Structure 1
Amino acid sequence: MTPSLPIPADLAGWLAYIEALHPASIEMGLERVDLVRKHLNLDPAFPVIIVAGTNGKGSTCAMLERVYHAAGYRVGCYTSPHFVRYSERVRVGCQEIADADLIKAFDAVEAARRDTSLTYFEFGTLAAVWHFTQAAVDVAILEVGLGGRLDAVNVFTPACTIVTSIDLDHMDFLGNDRECIGREKAGVFRTGIAAICGDEHPPQSLKTYAKQIGADLRCIGQDFAPSHLEDGWEYRVGAASLSLPLPALAGDFQLNNAACVINALHAMQSTLPVNIAHIRQGLQEVTLNGRFQSCRTNPQVILDVAHNPHAAVALAENLQQRPIAGRTIAVFSMLADKDIAGVVSVMAPHIDAWYVASVGHLRGATQAQLLAFIAAATKENAQACGYENVISAYRQACIDAGENDRIIVFGSFFTVADVMGELAVIHSD
């Protein structure tokens, strides 16, 4: 039984309500959410694309969304987490859901769940797909929240699946090595449909599971591949190739994500036809908050949610490829259950000064913990200072930075969200 709580009247009340419904933020399993899905009669007639992976899920969803939007389709896109507004998670036609429509969706889920407990993410997932049904979308893109096999989005039957990358993260839930984690992410695969993998060295567990269920596995570097050109990049599959300008999202790793997107578009071509012009337009128009997002100059301010070593490597490469005359100042905070040492060791050679604070979250690492990891990974004369909160750290970095310096805010969605709120730079379309 779930607690007896008053039904809220506004969006802020609803968000507090769904957060209080379940004693845990995460409960692995599909039985509860699938039961409520059935009560809602949620069997989407539109095709669903499910995107899983350790890193790159958000970029891949955003690219798919923009290409299909450029082709004239009405696209639903569900991602997580959000930075400033919950409505960032639910978009139709590249526009965030209106508060009134979100409240209607929450109300529908609440009426259908009866005495079934749902986590915050499960409740929101059902609400998003209910809204997509009401909005009569042509296609829905659903980003996995955690893992894949037991994630709430996996109660829906996909027409295409993507696993972008596999690395060590959320190990308390997914397992302690890439083989375990790969099997969990492969759980989104289905018999007879495209199972696209953007990891250049996929775990054997993922390949074995795909073979066992008869999924149409397509692996980057084997079945399709991207490569750099002098003035762009090339997507290759078999003897065919497609030359394209670089995607709007920065970083060499984005070519892998873009290649997965094009492979998915080809897999869905008979259902949702697109042409080369749509692909070009979509990849060049895509935006994504918090992924090497440059939002100020002199000094430059960059926001990046990199929160594990794999993502930190990509961030470090982006910084290295864009040298500056001045210093690189980090505004940094992480959750205590993440691999802080791994992230700091990757980033340390690229950071001249660290401005550190706790994110003020129950799972947040303390200032002292963060400073200790930095001290262990950097030179004795590396500058590292602690601050009361992320905003204080960011404001001091702005005071200390010269016009040729850059400030990189990273380490967690919470870290970036705090500074986004300060800057009010979040894109709503």
Structure 2
Amino acid sequence: MGDHSLNTIHFAKTDEYQRTVGFLYGLQMFGIKLGLENIGTLCRLLDNPHRAFPVIHIAGTNGKGSTAAMIASVLMSAGMRVGLYTSPHLVDFTERISVNGVSIGREEVVQFVRRTHSEIERLRVTFFEATTAMAFRHFAEKGVDLAVVEVGMGGRLDATNIVEPLLTVITGIAADHTEYLGASLREIASEKAGIIKTGIPVLLGPCPEEGREVIERTAREQRAPLTSLTSEMVTDIRFENLQEMNFRYRSKGFEKENWWTGLVGRCQAWNAALAVETACALKEAGWNGVTEDTVQHGLVHVRNQTGLRARLEHVIDKGIVLDVAHNPDGMAHLFGTFASVFDTRQTTLVCGIQRSKSLLDIADVIVAYPWKQVVTASSSHPDALPAQVFADVLEAKGIRTVRVKAETGSLVRFIAELRGDVLICGSHFLVGDVLKEKNFRTSTKSIDN
């Protein structure tokens, strides 16, 4: 009798959580509404939780999530209590908000929405605005020492931009979300430069010159000290598998030049260098516990400490690699890194993208490599590009494709029957669908450095 009652309570709580998340997703009907008025009002009603802790604010076209996770991991290794806010999630909504690698509890999500339900509806708050306010409130309640906050899209009018950061990080500039941010790199850079605040230090990762010029000009106008990294500053990038990478980078604050990280690829070396510079900035500002050893530990153990997934994630004994690269620039870097470890001629590429992405440019990146076969698929997301449409474009470029039904179960069953290596990419939503269906265990070879 007691066990039955406990199970009933468990299912009731699960149902309430699912209804709560359904309510939040329903806020998508208000669309993507760029601007700070709503989030400002909602946070004022919550006693401005975003002012209760220092923030490292991160924008950029690609690498935001990886860089945010690396920075959070480095600070955790230094003994800090660190909040991490990223988007989108892969399997469960709670992944977006975590403290020291522990996701917000489902009951805490329910309680927040109960508390703010009427204000959310009255203000016509969007999904991302509500989620951002939830993250800020959670971090304040948990008493974090510092929060690492990733911009959702753009920067200037993104809901996260109500923070007054300790440090601003921009990972790089490339084409994405052009319907909202503009078609040119200058326009996109201008939106991302909108998170630069007067007098607040800025770190900039490698990016094209036209984007860099915009960031540099904005930093000068805001009298914000700028540390600008170029690709030439990160050298001797070496890896033989997808579990560990070695690179050289000389920072401003550490004598150490030879670094290891648990994420692999040229872009991840750049992201790691940004994490090193972030640590240098905090050390210079007097934050205790930040040393070369703690930085190295955080870079190596980023996956385990933060739960970061689907960044060239290699599934043990299955020959499956998962990655959330979803635009031409990101996929070009992904394929280049993958091809240096695997033979693409023996690899099945499974790819599904969103309708808003640069279809022709992505197709050009795909056809540049000799794949064993290419499989087009659609995720469960309502804005997923139909697999048939994607296949038609690829076949017009001479690539024979296999199309898989949109049902996730069909895709996972198809993947299970494949022989040889498999690379799954194209969107967070496609990778998330696969992970929901099958709890893949990843290779987590430890590195003693």
* TM-score past 0.5 threshold: yes
Q: Deviation digits for residues 68-124 of structure 1, max 9, x if unmatched?
A: 111111110011101111110011111111112222233344365572111101100
SS of corresponding position for 2:256? strand
1:400 alignment partner in structure 2: 418
Distance in 2 of aligned mates of 1:183 and 1:239 = 29
Q: 1:22 deviation in Å?
A: 5.6
2:315 alignment partner in structure 1: 295
1:309 alignment partner in structure 2: 328
1:207 alignment partner in structure 2: 216
Q: 1:408 deviation in Å?
A: 0.6
Which runs of 5 or more residues in structure 2 are unaligned?
1-13, 239-244, 445-449
Distance in 1 of aligned mates of 2:349 and 2:371 = 6
**CA, structure 1 residues 319+216, in 2 after alignment: closer, same or farther (shift >3 Å)?**
same
- Asked if structure 2 preserves the Cα contact closer than 8 Å seen for 1:192 and 1:216, the reply is yes
The aligned amino acid for 2:417 is I
Match of residue 110, structure 2, among 99, 103, 109? 103
Which runs of 5 or more residues in structure 1 are unaligned?
1-7
Match of residue 76, structure 1, among 71, 83, 88? 83
1:58 alignment partner in structure 2: 65
Distance in 1 of aligned mates of 2:361 and 2:433 = 23
Match of residue 220, structure 1, among 225, 229, 253? 229
The percent of aligned pairs where both chains have the same amino acid is 29
**CA, structure 1 residues 114+414, in 2 after alignment: closer, same or farther (shift >3 Å)?**
closer
SS of corresponding position for 1:176? coil
1:232 alignment partner in structure 2: 246
**CA, structure 1 residues 238+73, in 2 after alignment: closer, same or farther (shift >3 Å)?**
closer
Q: Deviation digits for residues 230-277 of structure 1, max 9, x if unmatched?
A: 793222246965223321011121111011111112222224330011
Kindly indicate whether residue 371 of structure 2 is the aligned counterpart of residue 351 of structure 1. Answer: yes
Q: Deviation digits for residues 347-382 of structure 1, max 9, x if unmatched?
A: 22142201222224322211221111211334xxx4
**CA, structure 1 residues 296+247, in 2 after alignment: closer, same or farther (shift >3 Å)?**
same
Within a 5 Å distance, the mapping from 1:246-395 to structure 2 comes to 246-269=260-283, 270-273=285-288, 274-287=290-303, 288-297=308-317, 299-324=318-343, 327-348=346-367, 349-378=369-398, 382-389=399-406, 390-395=408-413
The aligned amino acid for 2:268 is Q
SS of corresponding position for 1:153? helix
Kindly indicate whether residue 171 of structure 2 is the aligned counterpart of residue 157 of structure 1. Answer: no
SS of corresponding position for 2:123? coil
Distance in 1 of aligned mates of 2:414 and 2:143 = 48
- Structure 1 vs Structure 2 CA RMSD: 2.3
Q: 1:196 deviation in Å?
A: 0.9
**CA, structure 1 residues 256+49, in 2 after alignment: closer, same or farther (shift >3 Å)?**
same
With structure 2 as the length reference, what TM-score do the two structures score? 0.86
Distance in 2 of aligned mates of 1:325 and 1:252 = 18
**CA, structure 1 residues 75+399, in 2 after alignment: closer, same or farther (shift >3 Å)?**
same
Match of residue 17, structure 1, among 4, 7, 23? 23
- Asked if structure 1 preserves the Cα contact closer than 8 Å seen for 2:30 and 2:124, the reply is no
Deviates more, 1:334-343 or 1:126-135: 334-343
Distance in 2 of aligned mates of 1:329 and 1:96 = 33
Kindly indicate whether residue 38 of structure 2 is the aligned counterpart of residue 32 of structure 1. Answer: yes
Within a 5 Å distance, the mapping from 1:94-173 to structure 2 comes to 94-110=101-117, 113=120, 115-173=122-180
SS of corresponding position for 1:51? strand
**CA, structure 1 residues 340+45, in 2 after alignment: closer, same or farther (shift >3 Å)?**
same
Distance in 1 of aligned mates of 2:280 and 2:112 = 32
Distance in 1 of aligned mates of 2:352 and 2:253 = 46
Distance in 1 of aligned mates of 2:189 and 2:427 = 23
Deviates more, 1:181-190 or 1:202-211: 202-211
Q: 1:308 deviation in Å?
A: 0.5
Q: 1:394 deviation in Å?
A: 3.9
Distance in 2 of aligned mates of 1:23 and 1:313 = 33
Deviates more, 1:274-283 or 1:339-348: 339-348
Distance in 2 of aligned mates of 1:294 and 1:391 = 21
The aligned amino acid for 1:34 is G
Distance in 2 of aligned mates of 1:232 and 1:332 = 29
**CA, structure 1 residues 415+112, in 2 after alignment: closer, same or farther (shift >3 Å)?**
same
SS of corresponding position for 1:168? coil
**Greater helix fraction, Structure 1 or Structure 2:** 2
Equivalent pairs counted in the alignment come to: 413
Distance in 1 of aligned mates of 2:175 and 2:374 = 25
Kindly indicate whether residue 188 of structure 2 is the aligned counterpart of residue 181 of structure 1. Answer: yes
Distance in 2 of aligned mates of 1:369 and 1:219 = 41
